[in-house]
Amino acid sequence: MPDALTYKIADSPAEERGIHALNHRTFAGEIPQHAANPQGLLVDRFHAENTYAVCLDGDEVVGMVCGRTARPFSLDGKLTGLDEHLPAGRRPVEVRLLAVDPRYRRGTILPRLLAMIGEHFAARGCDLAVLSGTTRALEMYRRMGCVPFGPLTGEPGAQFQPMYLTLEDGRRQTWAGLSGTGPVGQPENLLPGPVSVAPEVAAAFGRPPAYHRSPEQQAVVDALHRRLAAFVQVRHAQLLLGSGTVANDAVAAQLRLLDRPGVVLAYGEFGERLADHAARSGLDHRVLAGPWGAPLPWPAIEHAVAALPTGGWLWTVHCETSTGQLIDLPRLTSLCAAAGVRLCVDAISSVGTLPVDLSGAYLSTGTSGKALGGYPGLSMVFLRELPRPSGRIPRYLDLGCYAEAGGIAYTQSSNLVAALDTALAVTDWPDRYARLARAATWLDARLRRLGLAVVASREESAPGIVTIALPAALPAAEVGARLEQAGYLLAYQSGYLRDRNWLQISLMGRWTWPALRGLVAALSATTGLVA
Protein backbone atom coordinates (compact mmCIF):
# COMPACT_ATOMS: atom_id res chain seq x y z
CA MET A 1 0.00 0.00 0.00
CA PRO A 2 1.55 3.34 -1.02
CA ASP A 3 2.38 5.69 1.82
CA ALA A 4 1.74 8.89 -0.14
CA LEU A 5 -2.02 8.73 -0.63
CA THR A 6 -3.82 12.07 -0.71
CA TYR A 7 -7.29 12.72 0.72
CA LYS A 8 -9.19 15.81 -0.34
CA ILE A 9 -12.46 17.30 -1.51
CA ALA A 10 -12.40 17.00 -5.31
CA ASP A 11 -12.04 20.33 -7.11
CA SER A 12 -10.38 19.77 -10.52
CA PRO A 13 -11.49 18.48 -13.96
CA ALA A 14 -8.87 15.71 -13.79
CA GLU A 15 -10.29 14.51 -10.47
CA GLU A 16 -13.82 14.62 -11.91
CA ARG A 17 -12.74 12.40 -14.81
CA GLY A 18 -11.14 9.99 -12.34
CA ILE A 19 -14.41 9.96 -10.36
CA HIS A 20 -16.38 9.05 -13.50
CA ALA A 21 -13.90 6.27 -14.32
CA LEU A 22 -14.03 4.74 -10.81
CA ASN A 23 -17.80 5.10 -10.84
CA HIS A 24 -17.96 3.06 -14.06
CA ARG A 25 -15.56 0.37 -12.85
CA THR A 26 -17.52 -0.08 -9.65
CA PHE A 27 -21.18 0.38 -10.56
CA ALA A 28 -21.18 -0.82 -14.16
CA GLY A 29 -18.50 -3.49 -13.80
CA GLU A 30 -18.16 -4.90 -10.31
CA ILE A 31 -21.74 -4.18 -9.19
CA PRO A 32 -23.97 -4.33 -12.32
CA GLN A 33 -26.17 -1.41 -11.34
CA HIS A 34 -25.65 0.42 -14.66
CA ALA A 35 -24.88 -0.64 -18.22
CA ALA A 36 -21.22 -0.54 -19.26
CA ASN A 37 -20.09 1.81 -22.04
CA PRO A 38 -17.01 1.91 -24.31
CA GLN A 39 -15.75 5.16 -22.81
CA GLY A 40 -15.43 3.57 -19.38
CA LEU A 41 -16.94 6.66 -17.77
CA LEU A 42 -20.15 6.87 -15.72
CA VAL A 43 -21.42 10.35 -14.83
CA ASP A 44 -23.79 10.32 -11.87
CA ARG A 45 -27.14 11.94 -12.58
CA PHE A 46 -26.68 14.22 -9.55
CA HIS A 47 -23.06 14.99 -10.36
CA ALA A 48 -23.54 18.76 -10.53
CA GLU A 49 -24.94 18.78 -6.99
CA ASN A 50 -22.52 16.25 -5.46
CA THR A 51 -19.56 17.03 -3.24
CA TYR A 52 -16.89 14.32 -3.52
CA ALA A 53 -14.25 13.24 -1.05
CA VAL A 54 -11.55 11.40 -2.96
CA CYS A 55 -8.39 9.42 -2.31
CA LEU A 56 -5.61 9.91 -4.83
CA ASP A 57 -2.58 7.77 -5.52
CA GLY A 58 -0.58 10.32 -7.45
CA ASP A 59 -3.11 11.61 -9.98
CA GLU A 60 -5.32 8.49 -9.95
CA VAL A 61 -8.61 8.49 -8.07
CA VAL A 62 -8.58 5.19 -6.17
CA GLY A 63 -11.38 5.91 -3.71
CA MET A 64 -14.39 8.19 -3.47
CA VAL A 65 -17.64 8.98 -1.76
CA CYS A 66 -20.03 11.85 -2.31
CA GLY A 67 -22.67 13.75 -0.37
CA ARG A 68 -25.67 15.83 -1.40
CA THR A 69 -28.29 17.74 0.61
CA ALA A 70 -30.69 18.78 -2.17
CA ARG A 71 -34.04 17.01 -2.14
CA PRO A 72 -35.37 14.81 -3.51
CA PHE A 73 -32.65 12.33 -2.60
CA SER A 74 -31.93 9.33 -4.78
CA LEU A 75 -33.67 7.27 -2.09
CA ASP A 76 -36.80 9.43 -2.30
CA GLY A 77 -37.41 7.95 -5.73
CA LYS A 78 -36.92 4.37 -4.52
CA LEU A 79 -38.67 4.36 -1.15
CA THR A 80 -42.07 5.86 -0.37
CA GLY A 81 -42.20 7.99 2.78
CA LEU A 82 -38.45 8.16 3.34
CA ASP A 83 -38.68 10.70 6.17
CA GLU A 84 -40.96 8.38 8.15
CA HIS A 85 -38.02 5.99 8.52
CA LEU A 86 -35.59 8.65 9.75
CA PRO A 87 -35.10 10.12 13.25
CA ALA A 88 -37.11 13.31 13.63
CA GLY A 89 -35.51 16.72 13.96
CA ARG A 90 -32.39 15.90 11.94
CA ARG A 91 -30.81 17.59 8.95
CA PRO A 92 -29.84 14.83 6.53
CA VAL A 93 -27.25 14.49 3.83
CA GLU A 94 -27.44 11.62 1.36
CA VAL A 95 -24.09 9.81 1.11
CA ARG A 96 -23.60 7.84 -2.09
CA LEU A 97 -21.11 6.31 -4.53
CA LEU A 98 -18.81 4.78 -1.94
CA ALA A 99 -16.17 3.08 -4.04
CA VAL A 100 -12.60 1.94 -3.45
CA ASP A 101 -10.41 0.37 -6.12
CA PRO A 102 -9.97 -3.37 -5.28
CA ARG A 103 -6.19 -2.92 -5.13
CA TYR A 104 -6.57 -0.58 -2.13
CA ARG A 105 -9.25 -2.23 -0.04
CA ARG A 106 -6.96 -3.52 2.68
CA GLY A 107 -5.99 -0.03 3.81
CA THR A 108 -7.70 2.81 5.65
CA ILE A 109 -9.17 4.51 2.60
CA LEU A 110 -12.81 3.67 3.31
CA PRO A 111 -12.99 4.98 6.89
CA ARG A 112 -10.98 8.09 6.04
CA LEU A 113 -13.24 8.96 3.11
CA LEU A 114 -16.35 8.50 5.22
CA ALA A 115 -14.90 10.55 8.04
CA MET A 116 -13.92 13.32 5.61
CA ILE A 117 -17.30 13.56 3.89
CA GLY A 118 -19.06 13.34 7.24
CA GLU A 119 -17.08 16.18 8.76
CA HIS A 120 -17.47 18.27 5.59
CA PHE A 121 -21.26 18.17 5.86
CA ALA A 122 -21.29 18.35 9.66
CA ALA A 123 -19.59 21.71 9.32
CA ARG A 124 -22.56 22.74 7.18
CA GLY A 125 -25.13 21.74 9.80
CA CYS A 126 -25.93 18.16 8.79
CA ASP A 127 -26.23 15.58 11.56
CA LEU A 128 -27.64 12.53 9.76
CA ALA A 129 -26.31 10.55 6.81
CA VAL A 130 -28.74 8.63 4.61
CA LEU A 131 -27.22 5.96 2.40
CA SER A 132 -27.80 2.70 0.55
CA GLY A 133 -25.26 -0.06 1.04
CA THR A 134 -24.71 -3.10 -1.11
CA THR A 135 -26.06 -6.24 0.52
CA ARG A 136 -22.61 -7.76 0.04
CA ALA A 137 -21.27 -5.54 2.83
CA LEU A 138 -24.11 -5.24 5.34
CA GLU A 139 -21.98 -6.43 8.25
CA MET A 140 -19.42 -3.74 7.47
CA TYR A 141 -22.10 -1.03 7.44
CA ARG A 142 -23.59 -2.27 10.70
CA ARG A 143 -20.14 -2.18 12.17
CA MET A 144 -19.94 1.45 11.19
CA GLY A 145 -23.10 2.14 13.20
CA CYS A 146 -25.55 2.32 10.29
CA VAL A 147 -29.19 1.48 11.06
CA PRO A 148 -30.94 -0.42 8.23
CA PHE A 149 -34.55 0.45 7.45
CA GLY A 150 -37.18 -0.30 4.85
CA PRO A 151 -37.09 -2.85 2.02
CA LEU A 152 -34.18 -3.55 -0.30
CA THR A 153 -33.87 -1.48 -3.46
CA GLY A 154 -32.36 -2.33 -6.83
CA GLU A 155 -32.44 -5.50 -8.88
CA PRO A 156 -31.22 -9.05 -8.12
CA GLY A 157 -27.44 -9.03 -8.28
CA ALA A 158 -27.31 -5.32 -7.44
CA GLN A 159 -29.50 -4.87 -4.38
CA PHE A 160 -29.01 -2.19 -1.76
CA GLN A 161 -30.16 -1.73 1.84
CA PRO A 162 -31.34 1.77 2.87
CA MET A 163 -29.63 2.91 6.09
CA TYR A 164 -28.99 5.96 8.19
CA LEU A 165 -26.09 6.98 10.44
CA THR A 166 -26.24 9.75 13.04
CA LEU A 167 -23.33 12.16 13.31
CA GLU A 168 -22.60 11.14 16.91
CA ASP A 169 -22.63 7.40 16.10
CA GLY A 170 -20.36 7.98 13.11
CA ARG A 171 -17.86 9.87 15.24
CA ARG A 172 -17.84 7.08 17.83
CA GLN A 173 -16.86 4.35 15.41
CA THR A 174 -13.47 2.70 15.29
CA TRP A 175 -12.68 3.65 11.72
CA ALA A 176 -9.26 2.04 11.47
CA GLY A 177 -10.61 -1.19 12.89
CA LEU A 178 -12.97 -1.52 9.91
CA SER A 179 -10.08 -2.04 7.55
CA GLY A 180 -8.00 -4.41 9.61
CA THR A 181 -5.19 -2.08 10.63
CA GLY A 182 -6.07 -2.29 14.32
CA PRO A 183 -8.62 -0.32 16.30
CA VAL A 184 -8.27 3.19 17.58
CA GLY A 185 -10.60 5.20 19.79
CA GLN A 186 -13.27 2.91 21.22
CA PRO A 187 -11.76 -0.54 22.02
CA GLU A 188 -13.01 -3.70 20.37
CA ASN A 189 -15.42 -5.23 22.89
CA LEU A 190 -14.43 -8.89 23.33
CA LEU A 191 -16.00 -9.24 26.78
CA PRO A 192 -18.48 -11.96 27.76
CA GLY A 193 -20.89 -9.19 28.71
CA PRO A 194 -22.06 -6.59 28.23
CA VAL A 195 -21.51 -7.12 24.52
CA SER A 196 -21.51 -4.60 21.70
CA VAL A 197 -24.95 -4.40 20.09
CA ALA A 198 -26.18 -3.89 16.54
CA PRO A 199 -27.24 -0.36 15.61
CA GLU A 200 -30.82 -1.57 15.08
CA VAL A 201 -30.80 -2.78 18.69
CA ALA A 202 -29.57 0.58 19.94
CA ALA A 203 -32.26 2.34 17.93
CA ALA A 204 -34.98 0.08 19.36
CA PHE A 205 -33.73 0.65 22.89
CA GLY A 206 -33.83 4.41 22.37
CA ARG A 207 -37.57 4.60 21.69
CA PRO A 208 -39.78 6.22 24.34
CA PRO A 209 -40.75 3.72 27.07
CA ALA A 210 -44.17 2.10 26.80
CA TYR A 211 -46.57 1.36 29.65
CA HIS A 212 -45.95 -2.25 30.62
CA ARG A 213 -49.68 -2.88 31.27
CA SER A 214 -50.87 -1.64 27.90
CA PRO A 215 -52.45 -4.15 25.47
CA GLU A 216 -49.85 -3.20 22.88
CA GLN A 217 -46.93 -3.98 25.20
CA GLN A 218 -48.60 -7.19 26.34
CA ALA A 219 -48.77 -8.30 22.70
CA VAL A 220 -45.08 -7.49 22.22
CA VAL A 221 -44.07 -9.49 25.30
CA ASP A 222 -46.31 -12.41 24.34
CA ALA A 223 -44.69 -12.56 20.89
CA LEU A 224 -41.20 -12.34 22.39
CA HIS A 225 -41.99 -15.17 24.81
CA ARG A 226 -43.06 -17.33 21.86
CA ARG A 227 -39.95 -16.39 19.88
CA LEU A 228 -37.62 -17.18 22.77
CA ALA A 229 -39.32 -20.51 23.45
CA ALA A 230 -39.05 -21.54 19.80
CA PHE A 231 -35.42 -20.41 19.73
CA VAL A 232 -34.42 -23.18 22.15
CA GLN A 233 -37.24 -25.62 21.25
CA VAL A 234 -39.23 -25.43 24.51
CA ARG A 235 -42.91 -24.83 25.20
CA HIS A 236 -42.71 -21.72 27.36
CA ALA A 237 -40.38 -18.81 28.16
CA GLN A 238 -40.74 -16.21 30.88
CA LEU A 239 -38.90 -12.88 30.96
CA LEU A 240 -37.69 -11.47 34.27
CA LEU A 241 -36.36 -7.97 34.88
CA GLY A 242 -32.88 -8.62 36.25
CA SER A 243 -29.67 -10.50 35.57
CA GLY A 244 -29.19 -14.22 35.08
CA THR A 245 -28.73 -14.54 38.84
CA VAL A 246 -32.43 -13.69 39.29
CA ALA A 247 -33.42 -16.37 36.78
CA ASN A 248 -31.31 -18.98 38.58
CA ASP A 249 -32.85 -17.97 41.91
CA ALA A 250 -36.27 -18.52 40.33
CA VAL A 251 -35.17 -22.01 39.23
CA ALA A 252 -33.94 -22.80 42.75
CA ALA A 253 -37.30 -21.69 44.15
CA GLN A 254 -39.13 -24.09 41.83
CA LEU A 255 -36.80 -26.95 42.74
CA ARG A 256 -37.56 -26.36 46.40
CA LEU A 257 -41.24 -27.11 45.73
CA LEU A 258 -40.32 -30.59 44.44
CA ASP A 259 -39.11 -31.82 47.85
CA ARG A 260 -36.70 -34.14 46.06
CA PRO A 261 -32.89 -34.42 46.32
CA GLY A 262 -30.63 -33.33 43.53
CA VAL A 263 -27.08 -32.97 42.26
CA VAL A 264 -25.26 -29.82 41.15
CA LEU A 265 -22.33 -30.10 38.73
CA ALA A 266 -19.61 -27.59 39.64
CA TYR A 267 -16.56 -27.58 37.39
CA GLY A 268 -16.01 -23.82 37.27
CA GLU A 269 -17.05 -20.52 38.80
CA PHE A 270 -20.60 -20.61 37.52
CA GLY A 271 -21.20 -24.22 38.45
CA GLU A 272 -20.08 -23.29 41.95
CA ARG A 273 -22.53 -20.40 41.87
CA LEU A 274 -25.33 -22.86 41.08
CA ALA A 275 -24.26 -24.83 44.14
CA ASP A 276 -24.49 -21.60 46.13
CA HIS A 277 -28.01 -20.98 44.78
CA ALA A 278 -28.97 -24.46 45.91
CA ALA A 279 -27.47 -23.99 49.38
CA ARG A 280 -29.06 -20.58 49.94
CA SER A 281 -32.45 -21.99 48.90
CA GLY A 282 -32.14 -24.88 51.34
CA LEU A 283 -32.25 -27.56 48.67
CA ASP A 284 -31.44 -31.16 49.52
CA HIS A 285 -28.48 -31.70 47.24
CA ARG A 286 -24.92 -32.86 46.79
CA VAL A 287 -22.26 -31.10 44.75
CA LEU A 288 -20.23 -33.03 42.20
CA ALA A 289 -17.09 -30.91 41.71
CA GLY A 290 -13.70 -31.28 40.09
CA PRO A 291 -10.76 -29.35 38.64
CA TRP A 292 -11.78 -26.36 36.57
CA GLY A 293 -11.44 -27.01 32.85
CA ALA A 294 -10.50 -30.69 33.20
CA PRO A 295 -12.40 -33.20 31.04
CA LEU A 296 -15.67 -34.09 32.73
CA PRO A 297 -15.69 -37.36 34.72
CA TRP A 298 -18.66 -38.96 33.02
CA PRO A 299 -18.58 -42.19 35.04
CA ALA A 300 -18.92 -40.14 38.24
CA ILE A 301 -21.75 -38.11 36.73
CA GLU A 302 -23.56 -41.25 35.60
CA HIS A 303 -23.18 -42.76 39.07
CA ALA A 304 -24.53 -39.60 40.73
CA VAL A 305 -27.57 -39.53 38.45
CA ALA A 306 -28.26 -43.22 39.00
CA ALA A 307 -28.23 -42.65 42.77
CA LEU A 308 -31.05 -40.07 42.58
CA PRO A 309 -34.64 -41.18 43.10
CA THR A 310 -37.18 -40.81 40.32
CA GLY A 311 -38.30 -37.19 40.30
CA GLY A 312 -34.93 -35.94 41.57
CA TRP A 313 -33.02 -33.26 39.72
CA LEU A 314 -29.63 -32.38 38.29
CA TRP A 315 -28.53 -28.76 37.77
CA THR A 316 -25.65 -27.82 35.49
CA VAL A 317 -24.09 -25.02 33.51
CA HIS A 318 -24.07 -25.69 29.77
CA CYS A 319 -21.22 -23.33 28.86
CA GLU A 320 -18.95 -22.77 31.86
CA THR A 321 -18.00 -19.16 31.19
CA SER A 322 -15.04 -19.19 33.54
CA THR A 323 -13.17 -21.93 31.66
CA GLY A 324 -14.71 -21.87 28.19
CA GLN A 325 -15.82 -25.48 28.64
CA LEU A 326 -18.99 -26.76 26.93
CA ILE A 327 -20.80 -29.67 28.55
CA ASP A 328 -22.18 -32.39 26.27
CA LEU A 329 -25.83 -31.42 26.74
CA PRO A 330 -27.39 -34.12 24.51
CA ARG A 331 -25.53 -36.80 26.48
CA LEU A 332 -26.62 -35.33 29.80
CA THR A 333 -30.20 -34.95 28.59
CA SER A 334 -30.38 -38.61 27.58
CA LEU A 335 -28.80 -39.69 30.86
CA CYS A 336 -31.33 -37.79 32.97
CA ALA A 337 -34.30 -38.85 30.85
CA ALA A 338 -33.39 -42.52 31.21
CA ALA A 339 -33.14 -42.15 35.00
CA GLY A 340 -36.36 -40.15 35.41
CA VAL A 341 -34.35 -37.18 36.71
CA ARG A 342 -35.32 -33.57 36.03
CA LEU A 343 -32.54 -31.69 34.22
CA CYS A 344 -32.04 -27.98 34.87
CA VAL A 345 -29.62 -25.99 32.71
CA ASP A 346 -27.92 -22.64 33.06
CA ALA A 347 -27.64 -21.82 29.35
CA ILE A 348 -26.78 -18.17 29.90
CA SER A 349 -23.48 -18.30 28.00
CA SER A 350 -24.44 -20.85 25.36
CA VAL A 351 -27.75 -19.65 23.93
CA GLY A 352 -26.89 -17.54 20.90
CA THR A 353 -23.45 -19.05 20.29
CA LEU A 354 -24.60 -22.37 18.85
CA PRO A 355 -27.92 -24.16 18.25
CA VAL A 356 -29.22 -25.18 21.70
CA ASP A 357 -32.04 -27.69 22.22
CA LEU A 358 -33.48 -27.35 25.72
CA SER A 359 -36.60 -29.39 25.03
CA GLY A 360 -35.35 -32.15 27.32
CA ALA A 361 -34.78 -29.82 30.28
CA TYR A 362 -37.22 -29.21 33.11
CA LEU A 363 -36.07 -25.60 33.64
CA SER A 364 -33.36 -23.54 31.92
CA THR A 365 -32.08 -19.99 32.10
CA GLY A 366 -30.76 -17.36 29.71
CA THR A 367 -30.06 -13.66 29.60
CA SER A 368 -30.35 -10.74 27.19
CA GLY A 369 -26.92 -9.15 27.55
CA LYS A 370 -24.66 -11.87 26.19
CA ALA A 371 -24.82 -13.86 22.94
CA LEU A 372 -28.44 -12.96 22.17
CA GLY A 373 -27.14 -9.46 21.44
CA GLY A 374 -29.38 -7.32 23.64
CA TYR A 375 -28.63 -5.04 26.57
CA PRO A 376 -28.07 -6.38 30.10
CA GLY A 377 -31.12 -6.28 32.35
CA LEU A 378 -33.43 -9.05 31.19
CA SER A 379 -33.17 -12.72 32.08
CA MET A 380 -35.40 -15.59 31.10
CA VAL A 381 -36.52 -18.97 32.33
CA PHE A 382 -37.43 -21.65 29.80
CA LEU A 383 -40.10 -24.03 31.06
CA ARG A 384 -41.62 -27.34 30.11
CA GLU A 385 -44.88 -26.49 31.93
CA LEU A 386 -46.28 -23.28 33.41
CA PRO A 387 -46.31 -23.48 37.23
CA ARG A 388 -48.95 -22.24 39.65
CA PRO A 389 -48.30 -19.55 42.26
CA SER A 390 -46.93 -20.74 45.60
CA GLY A 391 -46.91 -18.99 48.95
CA ARG A 392 -43.61 -20.73 49.70
CA ILE A 393 -41.70 -18.61 47.17
CA PRO A 394 -40.86 -14.87 47.37
CA ARG A 395 -43.21 -13.00 45.05
CA TYR A 396 -40.60 -11.77 42.60
CA LEU A 397 -39.15 -15.26 42.13
CA ASP A 398 -42.50 -17.07 41.84
CA LEU A 399 -42.81 -18.09 38.19
CA GLY A 400 -46.41 -19.05 38.91
CA CYS A 401 -47.22 -15.38 39.58
CA TYR A 402 -45.87 -14.48 36.15
CA ALA A 403 -47.87 -17.23 34.47
CA GLU A 404 -51.03 -16.15 36.26
CA ALA A 405 -50.47 -12.53 35.17
CA GLY A 406 -49.93 -13.40 31.50
CA GLY A 407 -46.17 -12.94 31.69
CA ILE A 408 -46.04 -9.41 33.11
CA ALA A 409 -46.47 -9.76 36.85
CA TYR A 410 -44.49 -6.67 37.79
CA THR A 411 -42.89 -3.63 36.15
CA GLN A 412 -41.23 -4.49 32.86
CA SER A 413 -38.85 -2.44 30.69
CA SER A 414 -40.26 -1.90 27.21
CA ASN A 415 -36.85 -0.58 26.11
CA LEU A 416 -35.02 -3.76 27.07
CA VAL A 417 -37.81 -5.87 25.57
CA ALA A 418 -37.66 -3.95 22.28
CA ALA A 419 -33.87 -4.24 22.14
CA LEU A 420 -33.91 -8.00 22.72
CA ASP A 421 -36.75 -8.55 20.27
CA THR A 422 -34.85 -6.58 17.62
CA ALA A 423 -31.60 -8.45 18.30
CA LEU A 424 -33.33 -11.77 17.72
CA ALA A 425 -34.98 -10.49 14.54
CA VAL A 426 -32.00 -8.86 12.79
CA THR A 427 -29.48 -11.67 13.36
CA ASP A 428 -28.98 -14.34 10.71
CA TRP A 429 -28.60 -17.11 13.27
CA PRO A 430 -27.42 -19.98 11.02
CA ASP A 431 -24.77 -17.69 9.54
CA ARG A 432 -23.76 -16.50 13.02
CA TYR A 433 -23.38 -20.05 14.31
CA ALA A 434 -21.26 -21.03 11.31
CA ARG A 435 -19.03 -17.93 11.64
CA LEU A 436 -18.60 -18.49 15.36
CA ALA A 437 -17.62 -22.12 14.88
CA ARG A 438 -15.00 -21.19 12.27
CA ALA A 439 -13.66 -18.29 14.32
CA ALA A 440 -13.44 -20.35 17.53
CA THR A 441 -11.48 -23.10 15.77
CA TRP A 442 -9.17 -20.56 14.13
CA LEU A 443 -8.60 -18.61 17.36
CA ASP A 444 -7.92 -21.73 19.41
CA ALA A 445 -5.32 -22.90 16.90
CA ARG A 446 -3.61 -19.50 16.77
CA LEU A 447 -3.43 -19.19 20.55
CA ARG A 448 -1.98 -22.67 20.97
CA ARG A 449 0.50 -21.96 18.18
CA LEU A 450 1.73 -18.99 20.24
CA GLY A 451 2.35 -21.40 23.09
CA LEU A 452 -0.52 -20.12 25.23
CA ALA A 453 -2.36 -22.54 27.52
CA VAL A 454 -6.05 -22.66 26.58
CA VAL A 455 -7.95 -23.90 29.63
CA ALA A 456 -10.66 -25.97 27.91
CA SER A 457 -9.69 -28.92 25.77
CA ARG A 458 -10.38 -28.77 22.05
CA GLU A 459 -13.01 -31.48 22.45
CA GLU A 460 -14.97 -29.57 25.09
CA SER A 461 -14.33 -25.97 24.04
CA ALA A 462 -17.25 -23.58 23.67
CA PRO A 463 -17.48 -21.42 20.54
CA GLY A 464 -18.31 -18.25 22.46
CA ILE A 465 -15.42 -17.88 24.88
CA VAL A 466 -11.73 -18.77 25.20
CA THR A 467 -9.92 -18.71 28.55
CA ILE A 468 -6.13 -18.47 28.58
CA ALA A 469 -4.02 -19.48 31.58
CA LEU A 470 -1.04 -17.13 31.46
CA PRO A 471 2.28 -18.03 33.08
CA ALA A 472 3.23 -16.17 36.26
CA ALA A 473 5.77 -14.14 34.32
CA LEU A 474 2.92 -12.60 32.33
CA PRO A 475 0.43 -11.04 34.79
CA ALA A 476 -3.02 -11.12 33.20
CA ALA A 477 -3.85 -7.66 34.56
CA GLU A 478 -0.82 -6.14 32.83
CA VAL A 479 -1.41 -8.01 29.57
CA GLY A 480 -5.09 -7.09 29.60
CA ALA A 481 -4.33 -3.42 30.27
CA ARG A 482 -1.80 -3.32 27.41
CA LEU A 483 -4.26 -4.96 25.06
CA GLU A 484 -6.86 -2.38 26.01
CA GLN A 485 -4.35 0.34 25.14
CA ALA A 486 -3.89 -1.43 21.80
CA GLY A 487 -7.66 -1.32 21.30
CA TYR A 488 -8.95 -4.68 22.57
CA LEU A 489 -11.18 -5.03 25.63
CA LEU A 490 -10.76 -8.47 27.24
CA ALA A 491 -11.88 -9.90 30.56
CA TYR A 492 -9.34 -10.28 33.36
CA GLN A 493 -10.79 -8.22 36.22
CA SER A 494 -13.18 -10.76 37.80
CA GLY A 495 -11.95 -12.26 41.06
CA TYR A 496 -11.84 -15.82 39.77
CA LEU A 497 -9.77 -14.67 36.77
CA ARG A 498 -7.38 -12.60 38.88
CA ASP A 499 -6.88 -15.48 41.32
CA ARG A 500 -5.78 -17.79 38.50
CA ASN A 501 -3.97 -15.27 36.26
CA TRP A 502 -6.46 -15.99 33.48
CA LEU A 503 -7.38 -13.87 30.46
CA GLN A 504 -10.59 -14.29 28.45
CA ILE A 505 -11.51 -13.59 24.82
CA SER A 506 -15.25 -13.62 24.15
CA LEU A 507 -16.93 -13.92 20.76
CA MET A 508 -20.43 -13.57 22.19
CA GLY A 509 -20.90 -10.05 20.86
CA ARG A 510 -20.21 -8.42 17.52
CA TRP A 511 -16.74 -8.96 16.07
CA THR A 512 -14.96 -8.94 12.73
CA TRP A 513 -12.22 -11.07 11.24
CA PRO A 514 -9.84 -8.09 10.97
CA ALA A 515 -10.36 -7.48 14.69
CA LEU A 516 -9.55 -11.10 15.56
CA ARG A 517 -6.45 -11.11 13.38
CA GLY A 518 -5.37 -7.83 14.92
CA LEU A 519 -5.97 -9.19 18.42
CA VAL A 520 -3.72 -12.20 17.85
CA ALA A 521 -1.00 -9.91 16.49
CA ALA A 522 -1.38 -7.58 19.48
CA LEU A 523 -1.31 -10.52 21.89
CA SER A 524 1.87 -11.79 20.30
CA ALA A 525 3.47 -8.36 20.53
CA THR A 526 2.33 -7.84 24.13
CA THR A 527 3.49 -11.22 25.44
CA GLY A 528 6.59 -11.55 23.28
CA LEU A 529 5.36 -14.95 22.08
CA VAL A 530 5.85 -15.78 18.41
CA ALA A 531 4.24 -18.65 16.54
Question: pLDDT by residue (tens digit) across 198-214?
Answer: 888 988 998 899 999 99
Contact yes or no for 240/411 (Cβ under 8 A): no
Does this model's pTM top 0.95? My answer is no
- What class does CATH assign to 429-527? alpha beta
The separation between CA 42 and the C-alpha centre of its own chain, rounded to angstroms, equals 39
Compute the average pLDDT of residues 389-415: 95
pLDDT band (50, 70, 90) for residue 180: very low
- Number of neighbours of residue 212 by Cβ within 10 angstroms: 17
Compute the average pLDDT of residues 167-175: 65
For the chain, how far is it from start to end, CA to CA, in angstroms?
25
Task: Tell me the per-residue pLDDT of 361-392, one tens digit each, with 9 for 90 and over.
Answer: 999 999 999 999 999 999 999 999 999 999 99
pLDDT for 175 beyond 60: no
Q: Which CATH number fits domain 5-186: 3.40.630.30, 3.40.47.10, 3.90.79.10, 2.40.50.100?
A: 3.40.630.30
Residues of the chain with CATH 3.90.1150.10: 429-527
Q: What is the mean pLDDT of the chain?
A: 91
Instruction: Give me the phi and psi of 503, to 5 degrees please.
Output: -130, 140
Residues of the chain with CATH 3.40.630.30: 5-186
Of the chain, the percentage scoring pLDDT greater than 70 comes to 96
Contact yes or no for 480/492 (Cβ under 8 A): yes
pLDDT for 2 beyond 50: no
Residues of the chain with CATH 3.40.640.10: 215-426
Contact yes or no for 351/319 (Cβ under 8 A): no
- What CATH number should be reported for the domain whose range is 215-426? 3.40.640.10
pLDDT of residue 115: 86
pLDDT for 416 beyond 60: yes
Kindly report the three-state secondary structure assignment for every residue of 477-514.
HHHHHHHHHHCEECECCCHHHHHHCEEEEECCCCCCHH
Which of 331, 337, 332, 284 has its CA nearest to residue 310? 337
Instruction: Please give the Cα distance from 413 to 462 (Å, whole number).
Output: 31
- Strands across the sheet with 453-454, in order? 453-454, 465-469, 502-506
Instruction: Please give the Cα distance from 209 to 524 (Å, whole number).
Output: 46
Higher pLDDT, 159 or 98: 98
pLDDT of residue 255: 98
pLDDT of residue 155: 76
- Number of neighbours of residue 300 by Cβ within 10 angstroms: 12
